[in-house]
Amino acid sequence: MLTLDEAVELTRTGDLWIFRGRTVPDRAIQTMTNSPVNHVGMAIVIEDLPPMMFHAELGKSLLDLWSGTHHRGVQLHDLRDAVTVWADRYGQRAWLRQLEPQATREMEDAALRAVARLDGTPFPSTARLAARWVGGRLPRPRRVAGERALENAYCAEVVAVTYQEMGLLPPGRRPNWYDPGRFWSGDDLDLLGDHKLGKEITVGIPLAPRSR
């Protein structure tokens, strides 16, 4: 187990933060996707900037560092703040999976291009989330010329698209084929080249004291 300080210090671009909660929506996502987890985000750590997390969520309490605004959907957050909110406010357990070998400068540039393209994309409704996930397992239809990009995106799609941009996942598979459980070590996620994801490292997060 790592402390939150230790985990943040170790985190590099491309590392994954995975979460599991016990609320009804958390359980619904876990059951629907047959997954032990319900949320995933990808770390972006650029030079002397604070470590950040790129993910999609319903909340808007944290400042989106890319747009400088508070909004729901795809966001770039301060990593420590995001993990603390997911642990304290949402009651989630957290794990870190590290990308090996470390992401290259070209991969970091690709990740930032994904942020520029996806940031602000709305989070889908629960019904649409389920429909998108099921649709990702149906035969892929022929792509129509001029087909629009993602109109909304859930967390695993954001990570999948970013990994594809970075050259870590093959581009042919639809983003909605992925769910949070695909990024858990129990699933067989074959990364391209010699890259792989390490085993989950439990992160211990101190909870804020509750007022009486």
- Residue extents of the structural domains in the chain: 2-136+151-204
The domain covering 2-136+151-204 belongs, at the CATH homologous superfamily level, to: endopeptidase domain like (from Nostoc punctiforme) (3.90.1720.10)
Instruction: Map tokens 């967390």 to a residue.
Output: 155
Q: Residue 10, Cβ neighbours under 10 Å: how many?
A: 16
CB 87 within 8 A of CB 16: no
Reported confidence tier of residue 146, pLDDT bands at 50, 70, 90? very low
**Single-letter amino acid, residue 37:** V
Does the pLDDT value for residue 26 go beyond 70? Answer: no
Q: How far is CA 106 from the centre of its chain?
A: 20
Could you tell me which residues are beta bridge partners of residue 17?
Answer: 41, 96
pTM beyond cutoff 0.95: no
pLDDT, tens digit, for every residue of 42-68? 999 998 899 999 999 888 999 999 999
